[in-house]
Structure 1
Amino acid sequence: MGALTDGPKQDRSRVTRRRLLESAVTCLAEHGWSGSTVTVVAEHAGVSRGAAQHHFPTREDLFTAAVEYVAEERSAILRDLPSPATTRAAVETVVGLYTGPLFRAALQLWVAASNEPQLGPRVTALEARIGRETHRMAVELLGADESVPGVRETVQGLLDMARGLGLANLLTDDSARRARVVAQWAALLDTALSRPVS
């Protein structure tokens, strides 16, 4: 009898965990670290605080798991994207990673980690892994050959530029300026990667 009831119970548990993770990212992006308590996230997810603590014993567990979860979801989506037809489309895809709610949530987590000793090492390790994955995806999107001298640094420059555009976008709608910067970076990348301009 127990084996028959475990399936639906496990499914409910997975659904609850996923709702908590998605709500944590939303709350972190909208309210920042100080406004995103386990109670606030549980209310947003429509579950009890006890259920939230069952899945994530500490606040740090919840928020690092939430950013990791969404980063993995984002990676899965990017892996399934067709190769962009142009360098500009690839640059737009990379920049898009830094202008959405995940980046806003991650930024709040970075700021909190700079002031919360128990959070710092976890966020540093998580960001290192996400950074490597994002770099790898950018290389694939661009069809770049990192065995060519300077290409690795060029791709990293793209990621640093995209992060800067994401920061600028936090305060104001920066889409008009961002479009011009993306076009220029695409042209620079075509030159750096020795391609005809797209």
Structure 2
Amino acid sequence: MLEAAVACLAEHGWAGSTVSVVAERAGVSRGAAQHHFPTREDLFTGAVEYVAEERSAALRALPVQGRTAVLAALVDLYTGPLFRAALQLWVAASNEAQLRPRVTELEARVGRETHRIAVELLGADESRPGVRETVQGLLDMARGLGLANLLTDDTARRERVVTQWAALLDAALD
């Protein structure tokens, strides 16, 4: 059901994603869905958190194959359905007061975890001046690439940007 919720958010946005729509997609009754997730906010924040944890586990399991591969994997986080779903939650939270604190807290936690994983995978030494900001800039850039990919397939340009950023990271982190 959680994966169905993320898929619905990514495909239909907040307005088009209801508990009923998710329940139907997941093949369960609306009552069963509401038994586990009493509110719409519970369902969608839980779904994004679950999928984010799954993606974090997949990232942590990546074999270290060089910075270009790590950078590409990090960018992939921001160009897939999880990012689309999270973005829909962010937009909804900007207009819905009851959702805002939950999404803000979730995003802060996911952001910290993603940063920690990136530091580890990149072999970055954050005790060196500027390294923390370099890694954060990389994640911000990846999020921007994800936004650019929302309306059109930006794969070719994104690959060139990732290659260039990998070279810049090598220079900044070595």
Deviation at 1:75, TM superposition (A): 1.1
- Post-superposition offset of 1:90: 1.3
Q: Structure 1 unaligned runs (5+)?
A: 1-19
Output the CA distance in 2 between the equivalents of 1:153 and 1:76.
24
Q: Does 1:106 align with 2:106?
A: no
TM-score normalised to structure 2 length: 0.99
- What is aligned with 1:15? none
Kindly indicate whether residue 25 of structure 2 is the aligned counterpart of residue 37 of structure 1. Answer: no
Write the deviation string for residues 162-183 of structure 1: whole angstroms up to 9, x where unpaired. Answer: 0000000000000000011001
Equivalent-residue separation in structure 1 for 2:69 and 2:4 (angstroms): 30
CA distance in 2, matches of 1:191, 1:159: 17
Give 1:98 deviation, angstroms. 0.4
Structure 2 match to 1:190 = 170
Question: Which structure has the larger Rg?
Answer: 1
- Could you tell me which residue of structure 1 aligns to residue 124 of structure 2? 144
The alignment status of 1:77 with 2:75, answered yes or no, reads: no
Question: How far has the Cα of 1:191 moved from its partner?
Answer: 0.7
> Structure 2 CA distance, aligned partners of 1:90 and 1:25?
24
Q: How does 1:90-169 map to 2 (within 5 A)?
A: 90-169=70-149
State the Cα RMSD in Å. 0.6
Give the whole-Å Cα distance in 1 for the aligned partners of 2:156 and 2:135: 23
Structure 1 stretches of 4+ with a deviation exceeding 4 A read: none
Name the SS for the 1:147 alignment partner. Answer: coil
Aligned residues: 174
Displacement, 1:87? Answer: 1.4
